[in-house]
Amino acid sequence: MDGSRGPAGFATQANALLRKNLCFQKRNVKTNVCITVFPILLCVLLVVMQGIINREIGKPEYRCGCACVDTAADGSCRRTECGVQYSTQDQVATCPVPSPPRWPAVLQLPPPESRAVRTASQPLHGLPGPACRHTRSCPAAFLVTGGNRSLAQSLSGQLFPALSSPLNFSDYLHTLSKIVSGSEAPASFRQFLEPSFTPGNTLYIVQPRCRPNFLQTVSVNAGTKPLKLSK
- Using CB under 6 A, list all residues that contact ligand NAG: 148, 150-151, 154, 168, 170-171
d(CA 159, CA 152): 11
Rounded to a whole number of angstroms, the minimum distance from the CB of residue 155 to ligand NAG is 8
Q: Which is nearer to ligand NAG, 78 or 178 (CB)?
A: 178
Closest approach, Cβ 91 to ligand NAG, in A, equals: 38
The H or E element spanning position 188 is none
Shortest Cβ distance from residue 174 to ligand NAG (Å)? 7
Shortest Cβ distance from residue 123 to ligand NAG (Å)?
Answer: 25
C-beta closer to ligand NAG: residue 4 or 164 = 164
Residue placing its CB nearer to ligand NAG in the complex, 25 or 168: 168
Q: Which is nearer to ligand NAG, 150 or 213 (CB)?
A: 150
Phi, psi of 60 (to 5 degrees): -55, -35
Measure the CA–CA gap between 211 and 177, rounded to whole angstroms. Answer: 20
Closer residue to ligand NAG, CB minimum distance, 13 or 168? 168
Burial class (CB in 10 A: 0-12, 13-18, 19+), 230: buried
C-alpha distances out from residue 176 to 1, 47, 136, 180, Å: 99, 52, 24, 7
For residue 143, the minimal CB distance to ligand NAG (Å) is: 19
**CA neighbor of 197 nearest in space, from 170, 176, 166:** 176
As a whole number of angstroms, the distance between CA 132 and CA 116 comes to 10
